[in-house]
Amino acid sequence: MREQERSILVSKNASLWAVRSIKHRAIALHEQTRLLRFGTRCVANSQAPDQKQYIPVMSADDFGIESLAAYLHLDAQKVIRLAERGKLPGRKVAGQWRFSRAAVHHWLEDRIGLSDQDELAQMEDVFQRSAPLQGQARSEIAQMLPLCAIEIPLLARTRESVFTSMVDVADRTGWLWDPAKMVEAIRMREQMHPTALDNGVALLHPRRPMPGILAQAFLALGVAPCGIPFGAARGVLTDVFFLICSVEDSGHLRTLARLSRIINWPGFLESLRQAPDASAASALIALTEAKL
């Protein structure tokens, strides 16, 4: 009996140890999840050594007031006023304003979509001056869009087929190294917020530039023979699709602003929809861009 009781006791102790081990692992996993989710780090609490406290951590990719002011070519005080009024996507960390680069990037994209020709020209100039390489030449849309990356007509009838068809067109350049990854990035961006505009144009692009799968920045264009439901705010069907493949943020925004100027040029979209082939579309884009 004693041997049996000893065996039962050992078994209970082993079970208790296993439960405690699982509990400790669960607590550790919970803490790691908090760190990843909220961007904090765990430090000792000097007033209560047996407790832990979480301190917000600033990402190295974040903007501060001064760096964002320089990036946007604005006065620092104006950036502060915009942040305090909720006009800029920022947050305070330890009493200091911090701005996520991705959030600022999407805020600028929204501003581009609501701007007129003069505002777009000003924004394009700002992004040009913010280019990582000083003295970098202005990106010409006509040069970024090779003939092989223009598909007329684009034989796609659904959202999903547009994703794959446009990436197939882009892949013909030889500058896209991972088509499947680009398709998934575009799909995720469209799920987050559709890029379709009320003029029947969609400006497809990943959520962030993807230099790891691109040899260089470039564009692709597809014009469908009929409109496709693509998520435009007013239910307008989409038949013109641009795919923007960027390798860095400033270049993406600069391309987006310049492309928007071309798209909004009087009569451009009507002429583009009537273009019989890639050569005609390319010539139209070059001619319109020269008028900017």
Domain boundaries, the chain: 2-56, 65-99, 106-290
CATH superfamily placement of domain 106-290: Mannitol-specific EII; Chain A (3.40.930.10)
Q: How far apart are CA 274 and CA 195, in angstroms?
A: 23
Residue 59 pLDDT: 59
Q: How far apart are CA 188 and CA 172, in angstroms?
A: 23
State the chain's mean pLDDT as an integer. Answer: 79
**pTM beyond 0.75, yes or no:** no
Per-residue model confidence as pLDDT tens digits over 3-35: 655 555 555 555 555 545 554 555 444 444 443
Residue 133 pLDDT: 45
Cis peptide before 56 (omega within 30 of 0): no
Backbone dihedral angles phi then psi of residue 41, each to the nearest 5 degrees: -125, 150
Q: Is the pLDDT of residue 275 over 50?
A: yes
Residue 163 pLDDT: 98
- pLDDT: which is higher, 69 or 139: 69
CA distances from 248 to 76, 90, 213, 278 (A): 24, 21, 12, 27
Of 184-193, 208-217, 246-255, minimum mean pLDDT range: 246-255
Of 134-138, 193-197, 270-274, 279-283, minimum mean pLDDT range: 134-138
Candidate ranges 45-54, 64-73, 271-280; pick with highest mean pLDDT = 271-280
The answer for residues whose C-beta is within 8 angstroms of residue 30's C-beta and 6 or more apart is none
Average pLDDT over residues 116-121: 66
Q: Which segments of 39-100 does DSSP mark as H helices, in order?
A: 65-72, 76-84
Closest CA to 231 of 181, 163, 168: 163
